[in-house]
């Protein structure tokens, strides 16, 4: 009863508007239809493992990202391309501490479950990629955790955290794969008492670039006896 009243009051104080272009919107709409339509979904041909979009036929043997790699992650489903509005919103969410953007990004992430390969994911547990405590202090919240919570509520899934960040890593935006792997070495470990054996996990992150962070998380979970590790991300860089 209180919630709708508070919601209506909030609308009076902060009139609802599109988070991308600022146009006025009805209550409960966070991204206007025009802005949403401009965000490109990854619904064309893409790598079945890392979701890298590709013009023409592609498979794990020809994907420039996966070719020749031994991956632990079974596959990752990304929903939108990390460009334009999507990239801006993710940037504001992650570095601008705009927690409220989890609504828009989380709703996109829910679309990952339209992928038939996740039809059996109802028993999977969501695992947000953990942030190192120092990074968490700087960002105020863990963006992967905020997204996992949003998806969990909408899909009736559980969020668990069997992983911990065992040492800080440097931002690896400009690293190649080898540098990323070196940077990530021993970056994650299983938490004491983590229940991993025979469980299926869905890792959650905002963006997949090369997939090396998710793959390192998958490696640790599989070493702990996990049955399967897949991933969902909002965007594909």
Residues that bind Zn ion (CB under 5 A): 18, 20-21, 32, 35, 47, 49-50, 52, 63, 65-66
Cβ of residue 49: shortest distance to Zn ion, in angstroms? Answer: 5
Q: Pick the closer one to Zn ion by CB: 72 or 135.
A: 72
Q: Note whether 30 and 104 are within 8 A (CB).
A: yes
Residue with tokens 């028993």: 123
Please state the closest distance from residue 21 (CB atom) to Zn ion, in A: 3
Q: Give CA separation, 97 vs 151, 173, 178, 206, 226, in Å.
A: 19, 19, 30, 14, 33
CB nearer to Zn ion: pick between 104 and 163: 104
CA 128 – CA 142 distance, rounded (Å): 8
The least CB distance from residue 102 to Zn ion, in Å, is 18
Measured CA angle at 100 (ends 95, 105), to 5 deg: 80
Q: Evaluate the CA torsion angle 109, 114, 119, 122 in order and state its sign.
A: positive
Neighbours of 215 (CB within 10 A): 23
Q: Is the CB of 32 or the CB of 181 nearer to Zn ion?
A: 32
Is the CB of 50 or the CB of 196 nearer to Zn ion?
Answer: 50
Closest CB 23 distance from Zn ion, rounded Å: 5
| Contact (Cβ atoms closer than 8 angstroms) between residue 232 and residue 77 | yes
Residue closer to Zn ion by CB (options 60, 136) is 60
Residue 104's nearest CA partner among 136, 79, 139 is 79
Query: Nearer Cβ to Zn ion, position 65 or 213?
Result: 65
Distance in Å, CB of 30 to Zn ion, minimum: 9
Smallest separation, CB 120 to Zn ion (Å): 22
- Report the side by side order of strands in the sheet with 76-81: 76-81, 228-236, 200-208, 125-128, 158-159
Whole-angstrom distance, CA of residue 60 vs CA of residue 75: 10
């Amino acid at each position: 009863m209180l919630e709708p009243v508070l919601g209506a009051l909030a609308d009076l104080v902060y009139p609802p508007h599109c988070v991308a272009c600022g146009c006025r919107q009805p209550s409960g709409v966070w991204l206007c239809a025009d802005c949403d339509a401009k965000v490109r979904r990854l619904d064309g041909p893409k790598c079945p493992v890392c979701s890298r979009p590709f013009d023409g036929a592609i498979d794990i043997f020809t994907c420039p990202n996966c070719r020749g790699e031994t991956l632990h992650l079974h596959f990752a489903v990304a929903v939108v391309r990390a460009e334009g509005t999507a990239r801006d919103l993710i940037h504001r969410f992650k570095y601008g501490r705009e927690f409220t953007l989890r609504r828009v990004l989380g709703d996109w992430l829910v679309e990952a479950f339209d992928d038939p390969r996740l039809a059996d994911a109802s028993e999977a547990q969501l695992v947000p990629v953990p942030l190192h405590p120092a990074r968490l202090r700087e960002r105020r919240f863990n963006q992967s955790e905020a997204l996992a919570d949003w998806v969990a509520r909408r899909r009736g899934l559980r969020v668990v955290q069997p992983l911990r960040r065992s040492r800080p890593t440097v931002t690896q935006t400009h690293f190649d794969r080898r540098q990323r792997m070196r940077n990530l070495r021993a970056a994650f470990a299983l938490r004491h008492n983590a229940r991993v054996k025979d469980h299926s996990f869905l890792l959650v992150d905002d963006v997949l670039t090369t997939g090396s962070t998710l793959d390192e998380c998958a490696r640790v979970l599989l070493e702990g006896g996990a049955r399967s590790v897949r991933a969902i991300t909002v965007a594909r860089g």
